[in-house]
Amino acid sequence: MKTFDFYEFTGVLVPGTVLLFSISLLYPKLGLIVQGKDFTTGQLGLFIILSYVAGHLLQGIGNFLEQIFWKFFQGMPTDWIRQKKGNILSNAQILSLENQIHDQLNLEQSVKLSELNQKDWFNFTRQIYVAIDAADRSKRVDIFSGNYGLFRGIASAFIASLMLFIIENGLSNWKILLLLLLGILISLLRMYRFGKLYAKELFFQFIQLPKPTIKSSDSTKIIY
């Protein structure tokens, strides 16, 4: 089995582990591989595989949660600069970003962020990431992306655990319900923070890319 990359570990495997552990507490008979005294290599491998599967299933909840959450802020942080909000970039940095988009992405026309719709700008942000990744400058961006995915996944795991707990025990134990709700809230706050950090780092790295050089060829020389 291939090794997990940073995002797979933080955004998929860890949230899946949180959910499986919650299930093992609610349904002890299913949690023997977690709570048993003799934790064999085979059980560990099975637990990792199940956590990975659970983490991918949680991505569905995470995608839905993400759409609802960012609607309260009129879009994700990467979209805020198009609306000139959120203190992601200064006006001078936005101008530099527009110039870099024209130069780095080899566009025929200049780009004004305020004139782009959300769908078009989303496609540009994907190109921006590809450009910095090709320049081998995406390490910090990937770290922020992984931590964003981590807390989105943990929030999703707590939501799923909350639903399972209510189904199993109703609303009788309000202390555990409160702890789960608190976990969801803290996870969303951390998700918000890392979403902003991701956007800032993505654009900072792109602005700092060296200007592309145009190499002249013999065919373009002027002969007198």
Domain boundaries, the chain: 6-207
Q: What is the pLDDT along the chain (224 residues), one digit of tens a residue?
A: 456 788 888 989 999 999 988 888 888 776 655 555 566 777 778 888 888 999 999 999 999 999 999 999 989 999 999 888 878 998 899 999 999 998 888 888 888 888 888 889 999 999 999 999 999 999 999 999 999 999 999 999 999 999 999 998 888 888 999 999 999 999 999 999 999 999 999 999 999 998 877 654 444 443 33
Q: What is the pLDDT of residue 108?
A: 82
Q: What is the pLDDT of residue 46?
A: 82
- Terminal-residue alpha carbon distance, the chain: 65
Q: Which of 162, 167, 157, 164 is nearest to 177 (CA)?
A: 162
Cα separation, 119 vs 76, in Å, equals 12
Mention every residue, 6+ apart, whose C-beta is less than 8 A from residue 150: 10, 11, 14, 15
